[in-house]
């Protein structure tokens, strides 16, 4: 806020939070409170702290404009920049009626360093902003606001993100992507965010697609996959989460309950291992790390008009998911070591039309069409198992028969060649 602003407030405490209950005019809220404030690190990742604003906002806006009985619940707002100054106000009480209460009532003083962002009430906030544009007189109306303090430190960021997810877990189900960006209990999500911020390759801005669209006022469309038009991204946040989860084998966070935060030591040790495995995976899967460094624009590797089928398979989300699922299966069954798996992956032809990637794509009249349904993704997993570490000739035979059933054509790699991958599990 500009200069000093005084706001009447009640001071309260719950858990390890000191918070303040106050009243602000709609106009003040519309001007000063943002949908989200960057908490540091990857810009797109931190944008997910604001909830996507849906069509529900229009209904609230119309309600504010048309109903004389309008009423909105409190906003929960974080004050970025530390604790505002709080000054208790003493009240004369000759009869002792309000004894003990005067320390809870006072005035908040903001010196201009703080900024506000909403932790809860995104739809209401946008409705207020939109309604005032149509009827400025609404700016004089008031809403209750619960203020908490946010600190720009690692501990402060964690505490604020945890508050956001706790509020929304108890009030309204958060999306999977919001939890990926904010959850401070899910160890896989914590490691995923750190990789996006610190990894030697995926830590570069734009290497992980976080969302596909962002409107002028905060609308978000979470990236499930990477768009073909994306120049730089190698994966999406959702896909990276699955990669991290699959590559967590034999680490301290492997199989942990996502509702219970691992210890800091376990997170640190696990991160170091998973971070290195991610590097090795992207290197072994068609030297994608070197390609990303060498070429500024990856669009032709993702979709080629001149040579359909020559695209890099590991740039496709369905391929990434199937590869890590197959890798995890082989590791869990103790069929190959991690190093042996990397060697196998390095030996693949990573052109999309080649085996086994042909399981999830079809070339029709010179045009490539991806097949990402369950039947096709299951087929790719089965073919990958046959290429990596089948446990019997029968498994290979079943996989090749499945390919014939799903694709309507014979698999390009013979039974005899695939049988050479059979591992001895005795």
Nearest partner of 262 among 186, 204, 345, 179, judged by Cα: 186
- Does position 187 have pLDDT exceeding 50, yes or no? yes
Domain limits at 242? 185-295
pLDDT per position as a tens digit, 328-363: 999 999 999 999 999 999 999 999 999 999 999 998
What is the token pair recorded at 177? 């992507």
Same-domain check for residues 328 and 384:
yes
More confident call, 37 vs 205:
205
Is residue 222 very low, low, confident or very high in pLDDT (cuts 50, 70, 90)?
low
> Looking at residues 195-201, what average pLDDT do you find?
94
More confident call, 10 vs 38:
10
Instruction: Give the pLDDT confidence score for residue 249 in this predicted structure.
Output: 97
Same-domain check for residues 110 and 170:
yes
Is residue 374 very low, low, confident or very high in pLDDT (cuts 50, 70, 90)?
very high
The Cα–Cα gap between 19 and 144 comes to: 13
Same-domain check for residues 170 and 245:
no
Same-domain check for residues 284 and 386:
no
Domain termination residue (choose one: 154, 178, 202)? 178
> pTM for the whole thing?
0.68
Domain count, the chain: 3
Same-domain check for residues 271 and 365:
no
- Does position 93 have pLDDT exceeding 70, yes or no? no
Same-domain check for residues 140 and 240:
no
Same-domain check for residues 312 and 232:
no
Residue 374's Cα: distance from chain center in Å? 23
- CB neighbours of 365 closer than 8 A, spacing ≥ 6? none
More confident call, 283 vs 55:
283
């Amino acid at each position: 806020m500009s200069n000093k602003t005084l706001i009447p407030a009640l001071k309260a405490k719950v858990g390890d939070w000191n918070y303040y209950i106050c009243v602000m005019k709609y106009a003040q809220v519309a001007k000063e409170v943002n949908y989200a404030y960057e908490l540091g690190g990857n810009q797109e990742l931190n944008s997910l702290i604001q909830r996507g604003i849906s069509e529900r906002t229009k209904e609230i806006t119309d309600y504010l404009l048309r109903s004389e009985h309008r009423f909105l619940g409190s906003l929960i707002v974080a004050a970025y920049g530390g604790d505002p100054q709080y000054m208790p106000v003493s009240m004369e009480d000759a009869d002792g009626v309000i004894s003990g209460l005067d320390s809870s009532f006072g005035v908040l003083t903001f010196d201009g360093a703080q900024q506000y962002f909403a932790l809860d009430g995104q739809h209401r906030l946008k409705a207020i902003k939109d309604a005032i544009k149509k009827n400025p007189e609404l700016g004089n109306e008031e809403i209750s606001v619960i203020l908490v303090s946010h600190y720009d430190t690692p501990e402060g960021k964690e505490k604020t993100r945890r508050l956001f997810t706790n509020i929304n877990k108890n009030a309204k189900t958060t999306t999977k992507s919001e939890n990926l960006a904010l959850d401070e209990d899910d160890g896989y999500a914590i490691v995923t965010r750190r990789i996006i911020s610190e990894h030697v390759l995926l830590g570069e801005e734009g290497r992980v697609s976080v969302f596909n669209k962002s409107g002028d006022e905060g609308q978000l469309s979470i990236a499930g996959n990477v768009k073909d038009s994306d120049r730089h991204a190698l994966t999406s946040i959702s896909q990276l989460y699955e990669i991290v989860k699959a590559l967590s084998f034999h680490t301290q966070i492997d199989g942990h309950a996502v509702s219970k935060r691992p210890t800091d030591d376990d997170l640190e040790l696990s991160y170091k291992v998973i971070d290195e495995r991610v590097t090795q995976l992207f290197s072994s899967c068609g030297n994608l790390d070197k390609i990303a460094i060498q070429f500024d624009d990856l669009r032709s590797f993702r979709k080629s008009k001149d040579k359909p089928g020559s695209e890099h398979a590991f740039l496709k989300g369905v391929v990434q998911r199937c590869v890590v699922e197959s890798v995890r299966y082989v590791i869990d069954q103790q069929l190959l070591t991690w190093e042996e798996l990397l060697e196998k992956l390095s030996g693949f032809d990573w052109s999309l039309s080649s085996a086994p990637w042909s399981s999830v794509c079809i070339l029709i009249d010179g045009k490539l069409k991806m097949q990402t349904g369950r039947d096709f993704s299951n087929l790719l997993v089965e073919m990958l198992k046959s290429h990596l570490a089948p446990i019997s000739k029968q498994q290979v035979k079943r996989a090749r028969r499945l390919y014939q059933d799903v694709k309507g054509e014979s698999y390009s790699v013979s039974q005899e060649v695939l049988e050479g991958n059979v591992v001895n599990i005795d």
